[in-house]
Amino acid sequence: MGERHNSVNVPVTIRPEAAARVTELGMQEELQQMIEYARQAVPELAAIEVEVAERYDMGDEPGVSIVAYSDRAFAPEDTTSWEVRRWAVETFPPHVLQHLCILLTPGSAYAG
């Protein structure tokens, strides 16, 4: 606890189709802001992956997920995920959050 990790060196993988979708949406700045926030806010950050998120419930318009992987073990009392969602809602207007979302996941990324 209280141990600081150098999250600057955490690998960030942006899938080509996600990069294309973000460019199409004109939301590169918002994407970078979410990545930087994850670097600062997620304890024991292991990796960040940016991928297309198919949303079958919203027609054929895919979104983009920024998935922050943490090596920290799951603990029910950990509020980090809630804090990240709150930050996103307070920082971005609804039209951005309609297309970009930031998620926390315990474990390692499956880069490939």
| Per-residue pLDDT tens over the stretch 9-38 | 789 999 999 999 999 999 999 999 999 999
pLDDT tens, residue by residue, 40-74? 999 899 999 999 998 776 666 889 999 999 998 77
Which is higher by pLDDT, 4 or 96?
96
For tokens 């318009």, name the residue. Answer: 61
How many C-beta neighbours within 10 Å does residue 47 have?
A: 19
Domains of the chain: 9-106 (3.30.300)
pLDDT tens, residue by residue, 75-99? 778 888 899 999 999 999 999 999 9
- pTM for the structure as a whole: 0.84
Pairing relation of β-strands 45-53 and 63-70?
A: antiparallel
Instruction: Give the 3-state secondary structure of residue 25.
Output: helix
Per-residue pLDDT, 83: 93
Sign of the CA dihedral running 110, 49, 79, 71 = positive
DSSP lists the bridge partners of residue 66 as: 50, 102
What are the CA-CA distances from residue 42 to residues 23, 93, 94, 105 (Å)?
A: 26, 22, 23, 10
End-to-end Cα separation, the chain, in angstroms = 31
